[in-house]
């Protein structure tokens, strides 16, 4: 991508889309019919183009044709064709690109060695590029072309994106290949959120002691992780949601709450979609996938990619281990104390409402509200339900015990249920 302080080169971006389509034009002339065209399909996994399979080798090629990968929601993938006796033997991916939600179209240059005509009237087919442009209403772009990949570039036209897709046809194309690019005003991405994440080191938590004083190790975590020190706030939720709604996450709800109070009325599905959205907003690898596609919509149970760098919900084990303060645990019944009122908002302390996060004392790791305020979704569950932990402002103190666990249908939303996130 080429940038200066005013312009940004965009190739199949999610904000200003342009797609080179090849339009078939039938011409009557003295030229001969071309040889058989070649075709191929691309394979995408986790947002990257991982391979291209030749489905028809074509014929009559005198040199390696250009290969263009178009569409699929991503950008940056490139490939080259390798010939053998005038046919395409294979197509090799040079760069995998990123951000692909589906397989891009593989377009192969059509200039081949002519064969003898088989009809009295000579015909030939000419492939004419059509540039399809869409994007947020009012986005102004400059379309440019060049007969060489690295320029020089010639300005073709300016265009303002509207509510519907606009298609332009370039009839002036040369006899070889032609490259196109769209230049739009540079719009910086929103800055990463400034939430504080606390390191939770691996180890074991002693939960019980025998009459002889021997400690029994009942909770063990093998890998460190970082947990956000507070529950996801309404402002955090809204910031990511607004980005997500225009980047492929159409069903993130508004939620309830305000400012730095924890967001609530969020289903389990909502929470994990939001995790993926925040990961992509901050250019981290999403943790949840449906097949090879990042989980963005619907109510299917996705797969968890534990090696991903992005955000996710804690497992029940990770949640309780952190709530008990991990290797710093002092064996408290609530997260940070045996006195629930000092660390938790519950029916006895909340005055009937949730409160700004971090308003009570933290636990020994510096993590707030793991007891009380809102209950927090965890990744684990049964076939029909998912766990939530910690208790909330609208239930009794006994539900705020670090040992307490409840279950809820993942599609349901409640004014007392929110979530917090972890990352590797």
pLDDT (tens digit, 9 = 90+) per residue, 251-293? 999 999 999 999 999 999 999 999 999 999 999 999 999 999 9
Q: Are residues 180 and 206 in the same domain?
A: no
Number of domains within the chain? 2
Q: Are residues 254 and 329 in the same domain?
A: yes
Strands (E), 246-305: 288-290, 293-294, 303-304
Mapped onto helix, strand or coil, the DSSP state of residue 86 is coil
The last residue of a domain, from among 128, 162, 185:
185
Check if the beta carbon of residue 49 is closer than 8 Å to that of residue 102.
no
User: Could you tell me if residue 401 is inside a domain?
Assistant: yes
Q: Are residues 176 and 204 in the same domain?
A: no
Q: Are residues 217 and 250 in the same domain?
A: yes
Tell me the sheet residues that pair with 87: 84
The C-alpha torsion from 374 through 239 and 191 to 287, rounded to 10°, is 60
User: Could you tell me if residue 402 is inside a domain?
Assistant: yes
The last residue of a domain, from among 185, 207, 225:
185
User: Could you tell me if residue 191 is inside a domain?
Assistant: no
Q: Are residues 225 and 339 in the same domain?
A: yes
Candidates 287, 299, 224, 271; CA nearest to 377 is 271
Q: Are residues 272 and 398 in the same domain?
A: yes
pTM of this prediction exceeds 0.75: no
The last residue of a domain, from among 156, 185, 214:
185
Mapped onto helix, strand or coil, the DSSP state of residue 7 is strand
User: Could you tell me if residue 130 is inside a domain?
Assistant: yes
Q: Are residues 95 and 72 in the same domain?
A: yes
Question: 94: how many CB neighbours lie within 10 A of its CB?
Answer: 11
pLDDT value, residue 116 = 39
Q: Are residues 217 and 156 in the same domain?
A: no
Q: Are residues 233 and 156 in the same domain?
A: no
pLDDT value, residue 333 = 93
User: Could you tell me if residue 2 is inside a domain?
Assistant: no
pLDDT value, residue 168 = 57
Domain span at residue 255 reads: 197-423
Burial group, residue 154, by CB count within 10 angstroms (0-12, 13-18, 19+): exposed
Check if the beta carbon of residue 252 is closer than 8 Å to that of residue 271.
no
Check if the beta carbon of residue 75 is closer than 8 Å to that of residue 12.
yes
Check if the beta carbon of residue 304 is closer than 8 Å to that of residue 287.
yes
pLDDT value, residue 154 = 78
For residue 288, the domain's CATH number is 3.90.1580.10
User: Could you tell me if residue 406 is inside a domain?
Assistant: yes
Q: Are residues 271 and 139 in the same domain?
A: no
Candidates 35, 55, 31; CA nearest to 43 is 55
End-to-end alpha-carbon separation of the chain, Å? 29
- Here the tokens at position 329 are 């645990």
Q: Are residues 126 and 91 in the same domain?
A: yes
User: Could you tell me if residue 381 is inside a domain?
Assistant: yes
- Here the tokens at position 164 are 């519907």
pLDDT value, residue 158 = 66
Candidates 350, 348, 254, 268; CA nearest to 312 is 268
Helix ranges (DSSP H) in 132-267: 234-245
- The rounded distance, in Å, linking the Cα atoms of 174 and 67 is 17
User: Could you tell me if residue 208 is inside a domain?
Assistant: yes
Low-confidence spans in the chain with pLDDT less than 70 = 1-35, 110-141, 149-150, 156-178, 180, 182-194, 208-217
* Separation of CA 341 from chain center: 40
pLDDT value, residue 217 = 59
Q: How would you classify the pairing of strands 48-56 and 39-45? A: antiparallel
Q: Are residues 207 and 152 in the same domain?
A: no
């Amino acid at each position: 991508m080429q940038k200066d302080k005013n312009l940004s080169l965009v190739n199949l971006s999610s904000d200003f889309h342009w797609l080179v389509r090849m339009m078939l034009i039938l011409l009557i002339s003295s030229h001969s019919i071309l040889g058989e065209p070649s075709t191929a399909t691309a394979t995408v996994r986790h947002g990257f183009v991982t391979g291209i399979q030749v489905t028809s080798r074509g014929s009559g090629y005198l040199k390696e044709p250009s290969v263009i990968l178009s569409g699929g929601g991503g950008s940056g993938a490139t490939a080259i064709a390798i010939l053998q006796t005038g046919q395409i033997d294979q197509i090799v991916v040079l760069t995998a690109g990123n951000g692909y939600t589906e397989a891009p179209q593989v377009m192969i240059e059509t200039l081949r060695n002519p064969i003898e005509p088989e009809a009295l009237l000579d015909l030939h087919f000419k492939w004419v590029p059509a540039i399809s442009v869409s994007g947020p209403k009012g986005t102004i772009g400059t379309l440019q072309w060049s007969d060489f990949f690295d320029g020089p570039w010639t300005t073709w036209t300016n265009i303002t994106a509207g509510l519907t897709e606009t298609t332009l046809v370039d009839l002036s194309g040369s006899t070889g290949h032609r490259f196109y690019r769209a230049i739009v005003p540079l719009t910086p991405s929103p800055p990463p959120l400034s939430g504080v994440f606390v390191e939770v080191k691996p180890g074991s938590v002693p939960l019980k002691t025998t009459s002889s004083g021997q400690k029994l190790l009942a909770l063990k975590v093998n890998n460190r992780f970082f947990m956000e020190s507070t529950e996801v706030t309404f402002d955090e939720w809204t910031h990511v949601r607004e980005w997500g709604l225009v980047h492929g996450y159409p069903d993130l709800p508004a939620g309830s709450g305000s400012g730095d109070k924890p967001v609530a009325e969020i289903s389990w599905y909502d929470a994990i979609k939001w995790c993926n959205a925040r990961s992509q907003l901050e250019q981290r690898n999403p943790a949840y996938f449906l097949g090879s596609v990042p989980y963005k919509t619907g109510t299917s149970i996705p797969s968890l990619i534990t090696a991903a760098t992005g955000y996710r919900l804690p497992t029940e084990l990770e949640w309780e281990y952190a709530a008990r303060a991990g290797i710093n645990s002092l064996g408290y019944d609530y997260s940070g104390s045996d006195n629930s009122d000092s660390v938790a908002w519950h029916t006895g302390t909340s005055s009937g409402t949730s409160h700004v996060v971090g308003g009570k004392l933290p636990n020994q790791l510096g993590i707030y509200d793991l007891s009380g305020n809102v209950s927090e979704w965890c990744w684990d569950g049964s076939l029909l339900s998912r766990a939530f932990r910690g208790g909330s402002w609208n239930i009794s103190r006994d539900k705020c015990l670090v040992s307490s666990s409840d279950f809820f249908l993942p599609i349901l939303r409640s004014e007392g249920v929110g979530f917090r996130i972890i990352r590797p």
